[in-house]
Amino acid sequence: MMTGLWLLTNTTVILLTARLASDAGLPATQVSVAMGIASFAQAIAMAVAGHLSTFTGRRNLLVTWGISSAVLGPFLWWAAVNSHSLGRAALLAAALQVATVAAYGPIACYLSERFPTEVRSTGYGMGYSLSLIIPALYPFYLPLLEGVFGSHPAIMGLVAVGGILVTVGALMGPKLSSADIEADIDSVAMGATR
């Protein structure tokens, strides 16, 4: 699940920033403004997602967000990098980040709730950090993928894969309903590890 989120982060934040300049032709100041607006929208959506997951259940929310990322993400990414105005780029970058990486909203809680107190920091750290390795190596594999599929389709495919990984990872995890969330965190974690 976290590998999917990191893959989404790299494609919709890092790569999008570069491609708004190179592909959409926006000057650097407009790219900064567009990405600043997108980050603001993402921050609000993350807070809403975190709060909403308390009512819907963490897994339900993450599965829904993963599907949203896999289905909407590639199209929003393509539209953003093919926009040629600041307003359109900002709106599409914001929609893209809300549909994809705003899923980080409940992640801190979800990972913490997965592990009992005695291994919580280790489990959280491993789950959050080790999952970064494969997505972080994109400078090595992205040029190969672009050579085979093309510049835009390669990244759009990575966005879809990120969404699929979030969905599958969330489906493999515990449900953590609103009743579970209200329980003692160690009781929840012990139930989640079974």
pLDDT digits (tens, 9 = 90+) for 6-64: 999 999 999 999 999 999 999 999 999 999 999 999 999 999 999 999 898 889 999 99
Instruction: Specify whether domain 2-192 bears CATH 3.20.20.100.
Output: no
Contacts of 101 (CB under 8 A, 6+ apart): 5, 8, 9, 12, 13, 42, 46
Query: What ranges do the domains of the chain cover?
Result: 2-192
pLDDT digits (tens, 9 = 90+) for 70-114: 999 999 999 999 999 999 999 999 999 999 999 999 988 888 777
| C-alpha gyration radius of the chain | 17
